[in-house]
C-alpha cells in the first residue's frame, strides 16, 4: 500500500477556482470510479499551491484506476481540459510515499 502525494501549481490567482473545481468535479468523478482520495490541502506558504493525496493498495490497482479515470470520455472531453486551463502542468510534482510501520496511515 502506498500514497500518491501530488503538488500542483494553480495559474496565478486561480487557486480558489481550482479548489472549487477539484472538490465539486474532480474528486467526486474519481471517487465514483473507485479512486481513494484521502486528503486535499491548500499550501499555506504559496498562494497558488495545492496538494492532494490518493491511496492505492498496489501498483496493479493504481494502473487499473489510472486507466479508468484518465481514459474515460468525460475526463478526456470535459474535465481534463479544465484541469489544464486551471493548473500549470509542468510544475506538478508526484511522489509515491509508503507509510512507516508506526504511521497512523498504514
CATH number at residue 22: 3.30.70.100
Instruction: Give 71-99 pLDDT, tens digit per residue.
Output: 999 999 999 999 999 999 999 999 999 99
Average pLDDT over residues 51-65: 97
Range of the domain at 52: 2-97
Average pLDDT over residues 25-39: 98
Kindly state whether residue 106 falls inside one of the protein's structural domains: no
Number of domains composing the chain: 1
Cβ neighbours of 9 (radius 10 Å): 19
Kindly state whether residue 102 falls inside one of the protein's structural domains: no
* Terminal Cα distance for the chain, rounded: 8
Determine the Cα–Cα distance for residues 79 and 29; give it in Å rounded to an integer: 9
User: What pTM, to 2 d.p., does this model score?
Assistant: 0.93
CA triplet 94, 98, 101: central angle to 5 degrees? 160
Kindly state whether residue 105 falls inside one of the protein's structural domains: no
The closest alpha carbon to 4, from 93, 67, 80, belongs to: 93
Amino acid at each position: 500500500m502506498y500514497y500518491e502525494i501530488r503538488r500542483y501549481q494553480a495559474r496565478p490567482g486561480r487557486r480558489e477556482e481550482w479548489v472549487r473545481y477539484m472538490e465539486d468535479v474532480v474528486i467526486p468523478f474519481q471517487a465514483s470510479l473507485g479512486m481513494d482520495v484521502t486528503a486535499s490541502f491548500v499550501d499555506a506558504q504559496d498562494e497558488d499551491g495545492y496538494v492532494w493525496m490518493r491511496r492505492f493498495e498496489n501498483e496493479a490497482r493504481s494502473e487499473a484506476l489510472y486507466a479508468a479515470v484518465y481514459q474515460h470520455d468525460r475526463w478526456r472531453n470535459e474535465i481534463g481540459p479544465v484541469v489544464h486551463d486551471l493548473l500549470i502542468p509542468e510544475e506538478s510534482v508526484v511522489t509515491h510515499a509508503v507509510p512507516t510501520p508506526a504511521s497512523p496511515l498504514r
